[in-house]
Amino acid sequence: MTQVERLPRDTGKLIPLVEPWFPPSYADAVRDQVLSGYLGPGRTTQEFTTALAHVVGSPRALATVSGTVALTVAAHAIGLRPGDEVLVPAYGVISTINAFASAGLRPRLVDIDRRTACLSAAGVAEALTPATRAVCFVNFSGYTGRNVADIAALCRQRGVPLVEDAAGALGHAHGGRAAGTFGDVGTYSFSVPKVLTTGQGGALVARDNATFDRAAAYIDHGDLEWRRTNLNRGIGTNLRFTDLQASLGLCQLRDLDARLERRRASYAAMRERLGATLFRVPGGEAPLHNIVLTNRPDDLVDALRQSAITAVRQYRTLSQHPAYMELAVRPFPNADYWTARAVYLPFGMAMTAADAARVADAVVGSGLPLDSLDQS
Ligand SMILES: Cc1ncc(COP(=O)(O)O)c(C=O)c1O
């Protein structure tokens, strides 16, 4: 479309920040699972993880209760112990840092690269010290590009394990390699805003079998054989997925291309109107979120509310949270830039191209200045 049609400023229907989207056939699959009588982790969970491993090109995948827990399990699987230092991006969702800090690890913040809101190889190289036991790269809003490939190479060279938090990047790839498979361990989230959601849920993939087995044993009481042997050789806990969730997840995995296409279509409708002021990620996929940056973020949120559109300011420089104030040992100018200016517009699977156009028109109609990130 070359001619951008202006839609009415307020159509009356509230556009929420995010809503999942399921065709009725998915409900039939969940109903069939319930009627089968198998609800706990069993054959459908196995089918789901096998399909997931296939999609991301990894030998095996392990499903667990959330993306946050998948990161904690990843830390355990690569041998991190309480007190160990992990580098994490200074800006973003609280889940990543909490996953490590709640296990007694010591997160250290590294500023993000302004263009991508991800860690850069230069930033990580500068931050690595002999005390660093792991690096966590977050694929911000699905970003899967050079930064993660370069950081994976750097970590290999320096002998530091890399955890890739690909929570929102399922289906994204760079150089033929799937998000989540660049590091020693990669994790995914199936929370409600994601392209694939099971309500709550997460998964993990690992480069080597021993790491994978440690993760698999940990989420099932520390031993992969204990139900057969009645002996537990390690300490673990119960963080397993359920067949009920897997039945819903499996439908979406089978439809993953179509779901990604649906997301691309709503993003394209917004991008057509907002151009380079709408955050993008490299490659052909849409970012998970629709983000614009402005020096008047609260005014933009208010203006959109007038048009029955829910937008929010979310995420911040992590050392601004009372729980992590002691990590403010140096300035994080790029994290602060994103904290001060990012507005998260409606996104997600239920959003149609028409809704996306209405949101973008309301952003343009607000007359507020928007930044353009140089993402060339
Ligand atoms: C980058 C990132 N990491 C981790 C998580 C945590 O996932 P979950 O909500 O499934 O625990 C999220 C969830 O939004 C996320 O966006």
The DSSP secondary structure of 232-289, one letter per residue, reads --S---B-B--HHHHHHHHHHHHTHHHHHHHHHHHHHHHHHHHGGGS---SSSSPPSS
- Among 17, 88, 94, 95, say which to mutate for ligand 1: greatest number of ligand atoms within 8 Å of CB: 95
Q: How far apart are CA 240 and CA 243, in angstroms?
A: 10
Dig out the tokens for 294 from the structure. Answer: 């402005």
Residue 242 main-chain phi, psi, to 5 deg: -130, 155
Q: Count other Cβ atoms within 10 Å, centred on residue 223.
A: 18
Nearest to 151 by CA among 167, 134, 168, 176: 134
The closest alpha carbon to 319, from 333, 309, 329, 304, belongs to 329
Structure confidence at residue 373 (pLDDT):
81
Report yes or no on whether pTM surpasses 0.85. Answer: yes
Scan for tokens 């104030």, then name that residue: 325
Q: Taking CA 145 as the corner, what is the angle to CA 347 and CA 195, rounded to the nearest 5 degrees?
A: 30
Residue 170 to residue 229: CA distance in whole angstroms = 36
pLDDT of 375 reads: 63
Which of 68, 116, 138, 316 to mutate for ligand 1's pocket (most ligand atoms within 8 Å of CB)? 68
Distance 197 CA to ligand 1 centre (A): 12
Q: Which atom of ligand 1 is nearest to the CA of 189?
A: 10
Task: Write out the chain's pLDDT in tens, 376 residues.
Answer: 333 334 444 456 999 999 999 999 999 999 999 999 999 999 999 999 999 999 999 999 999 999 999 999 999 999 999 999 999 999 999 999 999 999 999 999 999 999 999 999 999 999 999 999 999 999 999 999 999 999 999 999 999 999 999 999 999 999 999 999 999 999 999 999 999 999 999 999 999 999 999 999 999 999 999 999 999 999 999 999 999 999 999 999 999 999 999 999 999 999 999 999 999 999 999 999 999 999 999 999 999 999 999 999 999 999 999 999 999 999 999 999 999 999 999 999 999 999 999 999 999 999 999 999 876 5
Give me 285's structure tokens.
């996929």
Measured from CB, residues less than 6 Å from any atom of ligand 1 are 66-68, 93, 95-96, 138, 165, 167-168, 189, 191, 202
How many residues does the structure list for the chain? 376
